[in-house]
Copies of this chain bind each other. A is one copy, B any other.
């Protein structure tokens, strides 16, 4: 949490002035959207009449009703405790999104018939490829970061070339280069190792930058103290600098992990049957790709929520120990 400042103002949303402002702003915005023609307008038909007749009045009326619902909701939530607020808002948003998905008119039986295969085949492949790549990329990144911070020109040059090249080229291209290029040098490499190699190199490059920023941010006094106690470079790094850099490194690294989960789908171009590949493939015959894509998207979301929970747990750990 931000500097709490020890002053928690009264929930602002309970002041009548704030409520009124919220109502006006929400009505205005929603009117701008022109909701008359939309499904929200449909609910209002009995009152406002047909789109063409109601026109601007219809827009305002629809917007106003929605705005009132919104404000009442916000005010009610304001009474709850922090954790309860979070829960309610999450649930509401979830419902909104499910309703949105619902508006696609999907075929749920079809989803049901395929979901098991997507999980056993697709999620499994996605997970093991990402997991291996993430571990390898983190290792690459630590060395890369140290090299990029070193005063050794050779190490610096290699590391900076590496980050530049593997961040600069599209991941798809790296997959191609490794899969199609290495055979030109005489190594025929399989699809999965090629994919893992490409993901490792690419994400290693991104994470090098993250680790560099984290390491760099640690106060010089910490280096001085540990070096003056005779700690070697590696010891200082491992025991003093990295643990303190963790709270800084973890959130962007979490980003990378979540992104990796989805970027691992690029290995499908070389014929690996991971989640996204299946999503695109399974729905093809019956033109049910929206069903499959949405299913895959929700599965990805679940996976990344798991990662987020793990991340916040690790973060809490490091924040507790260093305040």
Contact = CB atoms under 8 A, between A and B. Distances in A.
A93 to B, nearest CB: 5
A259 B250 CA distance: 19
Interface string A144-187: 00100111111011101100110111111100110011001111
B86 A157 contact: yes
A104 to B, nearest CB: 6
Given A251-B213, A301-B169, A185 B89 contact: no
A143 interface: no
A255 interface: yes
Q: Which of A2, A184, A223 has the most CB of B within 10 A?
A: A2
* Secondary structure type dominating chain A contacts: helix
B1 A167 contact: no
A300 interface: yes
B151 A255 contact: no
Copy count, this protein chain? 2
Contacts of A209: 251-252, 254-255
A247 B216 contact: yes
Contacts of A214: 248
Contacts of A303: 168
Contact of A39 (B185, B206, B212): B185
A161 B89 contact: yes
Interface stretch (A77-85, A116-124, A127-135): A77-85
Interface string A3-23: 111001001010000000000
Nearest to A158: B89
A91 to B, nearest CB: 10
A167 B181 CA distance: 32
Contact of A77 (B83, B153, B172, B296): B153
Contacts of A251: 209-210, 212-213
A262 B170 contact: yes
Interface of A: 1-5, 8, 11, 13, 33, 35, 37-39, 41, 74, 77-78, 80-90, 93-94, 97, 100, 103-104, 146, 149-154, 156-158, 160-161, 164-165, 167-173, 176-177, 180-181, 184-187, 206, 209-210, 212-217, 220, 223-224, 227, 233, 247-248, 250-252, 254-255, 258-259, 262, 265, 276, 290, 293-294, 296-297, 300-305, 308
Which are the 3 A-B pairs with shortest beta-carbon distances? Answer: A85-B153, A38-B186, A89-B157
Given A86-B157, A168-B302, 16 more contacts: A1-B151, A2-B151, A5-B227, A35-B186, A39-B184, A74-B154, A89-B161, A90-B157, A167-B258, A168-B304, A169-B301, A170-B276, A170-B296, A176-B290, A216-B247, A259-B259
